Amino acid sequence: MKVRVDAERCTGHGRCYDLAPEIFDEDEAGHCVLLRAAVPASLETKARVAAENCPEEAIALTD
């Protein structure tokens, strides 16, 4: 699984790094920073939860 973040859409809700800190971190302003673009199988569920809880729909997942 691959994950992409649209920085233009992110406004810093912080749901992704709350719910999946193995994949997402925050920058100085609290906006999303992607820690790894390739998600190992063990973290796929977490990546999905993060994407589904982003109110800005800024996280895209592809297989």
- Output the smallest distance, CB 18 to another protein, in A: 7
Choice between 16 and 39, CB closer to another protein = 16
Choice between 39 and 54, CB closer to another protein = 54
- Output the smallest distance, CB 5 to another protein, in A: 16
Cβ distance 26 to 57 under 8 Å? no
Which residues contribute to the site for another protein (CB under 8 A)?
A: 11-14, 17-18, 26, 28-31, 49, 52-57
Give the burial string for 10-38 (b: 16+ CB within 10 Å, else e).
beebebbbebbeebbeeeeeebbeeeeee
